[in-house]
Amino acid sequence: MPSKKHDAIKKMLNTAVNSLKDSDNVPHLHHMRHLIELGTFFYLLPWGVHLKKVMVDDKIYGEVIIPTTSDRNKVMLYFHGGGYTIGSSHSHRSLVGKIAKKAGIIALLIEYRKAPEYPFPAALDDALAAYKRLIFERRKLPENIVLAGDSAGGGLAFATILKIKEEGLPMPAGVIGLSPWVDLSNSGESILQNQYEDPLVDIRKMEKWAKMYAGMENVKNPYISPLFGDLSGFPPILIQASDSEMLYSDALRFAKKAEEAGVEVTLQIWEGLMHWWQIFQRVIPEAGEALDKIVDFIKYTLHSEVKKRSLQK
């Protein structure tokens, strides 16, 4: 059962958002970008964590998140969510910093190019470039890297694994998808079933953003919607989702397909939580629980001194 703090936030957001879902008015993308930055303005880095701004290449800005006590040979490469159109390193650095601090590693959070200004394959090109920088320029061992992302960023993490496989690059140690958007055709049952239960996602925005990101490409292109790709050869996967999210079906279908392809999959499901609940890690207890499980997975995949054990699904 969701906590009272979670339900209070969800009720407030539902009151504000559901009226828009029943109207013909969809907030302009420009306004949404400002709203998410404003809404996360006070989500600061945890105590004892600092950042270093870097250029991944001549197009991509990034932030290296560095806990004071951390193994700097181990890295989480993180892709923020936001439908490939909104979100930023600013909106997600608090979440990424908390995970990195608890896991005792550093993180690279990249500002990949977003649609509609930069449609596919810009975001995927940037994600792959960041991974190549880590292994070829920064000399990080692939087995010391884990890829992660939430929502669209989770889908981007999985698409990046497909691209890594296609190019014959060494695989990272693991990949994490927090309520990942892996089907931009939006064909999952939960898209409509949970549309009034999930205040932070709107089917009209999802359809619009999918078209913005795909551009001239088919949305079922596996590098856009990794659900339709060949998942064999993937590293261990962690997926977190809630049964009241619109993207719940994406999580279930991707986990099932990966398991059928012989991939080690840890699927963790919560009841009644809204999309992006992990980002409220300063407020709701379920977010703290989710982050602890993420850290368990990171240690399971990255830290050889930790005896590998079955993670709670």
Active-site positions read 151, 245, 275
The pairing of beta strand 174-178 with beta strand 105-111: unpaired
Say if residues 110 and 56 touch (Cβ distance below 8 Å). yes
Residue 52 is encoded by which pair of tokens?
A: 């270093």
CA gap 33, 257 in Å, rounded: 33
DSSP secondary structure string for all residues of 258-281: HHHTT--EEEEEESSPPTTGGGGT
- Phi and psi torsions of 21, nearest 5°: -65, -25
- The H-or-E segment that residue 205 falls in is helix 203-214
Maximum distance among all alpha carbons in the chain?
Answer: 56
Q: Quick one: residue 21, left, alpha or beta (phi over 0 = left, psi -120 to 50 = alpha)?
A: alpha
DSSP secondary structure string for all residues of 53-113: EEESSSS-EEEEEEESS-EEEEEEEEE--STTTS--HHHHHHHHHHHHHHHTEEEEEEE--
Using the Cα atoms of residue 253, residue 258, residue 262 and residue 268 in order, give the sign of their dihedral.
negative
